[in-house]
Amino acid sequence: MSRLGRGLSKPGTAAVGAASVTLFVLAWSLAGRLELLSPLILPPPEEIWDSTLELLDLGYHKTPLWKHVGVSLARAAAAFVLAVGSGVPLGLAMGLFPVLSSALEPFVQFLRPLPKIALIPLAILWLGIGEVSKIFLIYLSTLFTVVVGAAAAVGGVGEGKIRLGRALGATNFQLVRHFILPASLPGIFTSVRLAVGVGWTTLIAAEMVAAQSGMGWMVMNASAYMRTDLVMLGIILLGCTGYLLDLLLVLLERLAVPWAGKE
């Protein structure tokens, strides 16, 4: 039982994960070969692989596949940088100043759960149909999760650390710089990871705004032509890219906040 409690090592966990994915793909392929599922509903992995090779060779709508991926990543990256750059300072300020938090909380909590697809008409009216409106939608879907997470991270700093800082004679700036901010960073990184996941799911909605390229646009366009194989390929690309983005954030957290989880 003690061994079960400790769980698997990292290589063991990776092996189990790889095995489960392999079994799933094999079962999916077998269901396709036995014609248990219509290719129109769920094409077998072999068909999706053939479509992938076709797109790598010819592209989609005369646009290379790598460019669709790159365009989506560029839109999302611009929105994420803006959301983190503005949301973290705002969240920290809300956590540090209760009056500011009370003033902004109603707006943040109103806008945070609002479906961003409902803002598409406003985004077009305000910003047109260019790249700015697409980035704006992803930015909004990311921003408020970062703000709420950063404010909660500051609020979760223990009183003992603040008293320790005061006892050592730290000024307000030093208290924030050396005590509150380091203690808040693990929570801030967690909120950024959650926000990036939410923002990435908004990509398809953002690329509905008069786009001509991008993974989200490719999925929507392929669905109009009943190309389920390309829809599935786009979904797989979106999922794998989002997974890689999350792994990148985990790596950045380990480098920037090596003390996370060691207190």
Q: Per-residue pLDDT tens for 59-86?
A: 888 888 888 889 999 999 999 999 999 9
DSSP structure string for the chain:
-HHHHH---HHHHHHHHHHHHHHHHHHHHHHHHTT-S-TTTS--HHHHHHHHHHHHHH-BTTB-HHHHHHHHHHHHHHHHHHHHHHHHHHHHHHHH-HHHHHHHHHHHHHHTTS-GGGGHHHHHHHHTTSHHHHHHHHHHHHHHHHHHHHHHHHHTS-HHHHHHHHHTT--HHHHIIIIIHHHHHHHHHHHHHHHHHHHHHTHHHHTTTT-SSSHHHHHHHHHHTT-HHHHHHHHHHHHHHHHHHHHHHHHHHHHH-TTTT--
Residue with tokens 């990509």: 203
Stretch 228-240: mean pLDDT:
90
Q: For 145-197, how does the pLDDT look when each residue is reduced to its tens digit (9 = 90+)? A: 999 999 988 887 777 777 777 777 777 777 777 777 888 888 888 899 999 88
Mean pLDDT, the chain, rounded, equals 84
* 164 and 115 inside one domain: yes
Six-digit token pair at 210? 């008069």
Split at pLDDT 50, 70, 90, the class of 87 is very high
| CA dist., res. 62 & res. 74, Å (int) | 20
CATH number for the domain including 113?
Answer: 1.10.3720.10
pLDDT of residue 4: 45
pLDDT of residue 83: 93
Stretch 105-123: mean pLDDT:
85
Count of domains for the chain: 2
The string over 76-102, giving b where at least 16 C-beta atoms fall within 10 Å of a residue's C-beta and e elsewhere, is bebbbebbbeebbebbbbbbbeeeebe
* 106 and 220 inside one domain: yes
Nearest Cα neighbor of 118 from 59, 174, 198, 202 is 202
| CA dist., res. 224 & res. 204, Å (int) | 14
Range ranked top by mean pLDDT from 53-62, 148-157, 240-249, 252-261: 240-249
Q: Radius of gyration (Cα) for the chain, nearest Å? A: 23
pLDDT of residue 10: 65
* 49 and 64 inside one domain: yes
Residue 263 lies in a domain: no
80 or 10, which is more confident: 80
* 44 and 19 inside one domain: no
- Please give the residue range of the domain that contains residue 29: 1-36
pLDDT of residue 9: 61
131 or 39, which is more confident: 131
Residue 261 lies in a domain: no
pLDDT of residue 146: 92
pLDDT of residue 123: 85
| CA dist., res. 10 & res. 181, Å (int) | 30
Burial class of 10 by CB neighbour count within 10 A (0 to 12, 13 to 18, 19+):
exposed
7 or 50, which is more confident: 50
Stretch 237-263: mean pLDDT:
83
pLDDT of residue 86: 93
* 14 and 105 inside one domain: no
* 243 and 214 inside one domain: yes
* 132 and 242 inside one domain: yes
Query: Does the pLDDT of residue 8 top 70, yes or no?
Result: no
Residue 262 lies in a domain: no
